[in-house]
Amino acid sequence: MTFENKLKKKLINRKKVLGCWTSLDNEITSEILANVGFDFLLIDHEHGYGDARGITRQLQSLKQTECSALVRMPNDDEVYVKKSLDTGVNCLMFPAVNTKKDAENIVEMCRYAPGGYRGMAPGMIRATNYGMDVKNYFEKIEKELLIVCQIETAEGVSNIEDIGKIDGVDMLFIGPMDLSTSINKFGKFEDPMFLDTIEKAKEKIFKTGKFSGIIPYGKFSWQELLNEGFDLTTAGTEISILRDATMSILDDFKKLK
């Protein structure tokens, strides 16, 4: 098993990266999207389907590609994080990180002692090639790990500077939908209050020196967001791509009747 974090390497080399959000817990779909050429698949375990075995299947489907798996945790659940890392995934996203303390705890649950409290099972996990490459894994995992903290609330925006100071936090990622909801402006992406809030978030994140991420929202496409200076974004979800493409086909078909 290779331990190199391809996504993190691209970001360090200042390359813009584009991914696809996935939630269907399907290794065949993931394999197709990876072979198309996305830099990463954002495997959603907050709202999407799946479990640790599903992560393993999808990692296996990406094995021969240049596409990385970025797995979004349901929350900062120590057991779920541990089981996810044990599969061999090295990119994790955490939703609704609001404080410095939240970020510190996230980093610590991802690291082995003395830097954290991740539990050890070196002889039985996929991450160590089932015990056949323990030394290599333990020497490299902390360096190769990519930890993404989502900024999705007004509280999170107010604490971006402090969150960005935490060693081990690699990226700050804006969640526009939850951010708009947190200020009682659900989906109102043109509202002055939302525009002011998200602009503050962008400026603060860029100043931290951490990698930056966001998803398309309102009138902003993935192209425009990358041009604005973000390092990472997505081109939609596998569900939206499937839904919109098939709806378009059927709309054209109905016009023939």
Task: Report the amino acid identity of residue 91.
Answer: C
The SS3 assignment for 73 reads coil
Nearest to 116 by CA among 149, 99, 138: 138
Nearest to 174 by CA among 216, 209, 207: 216
| Residue 47 is a catalytic residue | yes
Burial of 196 (0-12, 13-18, 19+ CB in 10 A): exposed
Tokens 């939703």 locate to 95
94 and 67 in contact (C-beta within 8 Å)?
no
Q: What is the distance between the alpha carbons of residues 164 and 251, in angstroms, rounded to a whole number?
A: 47
Residues pairing with 212 in the sheet: 172
Catalytic pick among 2, 28, 36, 47: 47
Strands 91-94 and 211-214: unpaired
- Rounded to a whole number, what is the distance in angstroms from the first to the last CA of the chain? 55
Q: How far is CA 98 from CA 31, 114, 159, 180, in A?
A: 34, 25, 7, 15
Task: Report the amino acid identity of residue 191.
Answer: D
Which active-site residues does the annotation give? Answer: 47
